[in-house]
Structure 1
Amino acid sequence: MTNKDNAKAYWKENIRYVLILLLVWFLVSYGAGIMFKDALNNIKLGGFKLGFWFAQQGSMYVFVILIFVYVRLMNKLDKKYGYDE
Structure 2
Amino acid sequence: MKPKEDPRGYWRANIKYVLILLSIWFAVSYGAGILFKDALNTIKLGGFKLGFWFAQQGSMYVFVVLIFVYVKLMNNLDKKHGYDE
Coarse TM-score class (shorter-chain normalised): over 0.9
Matching of residue 62 in structure 1 with residue 69 in structure 2:
no
Give the drift of 1:69: 0.6
Q: What RMSD over aligned residues (CA atoms) do the two structures have, in Å?
A: 1.4
Give the drift of 1:47: 1.3
Match of 2:10 in 1: 10
TM-score by length of 2: 0.92
Letter in 1 for 2:34: I
TM-score by length of 1: 0.92
* Structure of higher RCO (CA pairs closer than 8 Å, 6+ residues apart): 2
Give the drift of 1:27: 0.4
Q: In structure 2, how many angstroms separate the alpha carbons of the residues matched to 1:45 and 1:27?
A: 20
Match of 2:24 in 1: 24
- Percent of residue pairs identical: 77
Q: In structure 2, how many angstroms separate the alpha carbons of the residues matched to 1:74 and 1:51?
A: 32
Q: In structure 2, how many angstroms separate the alpha carbons of the residues matched to 1:30 and 1:79?
A: 34
In structure 2, list runs of 5 or more residues that go unmatched: none
Give the drift of 1:68: 0.7
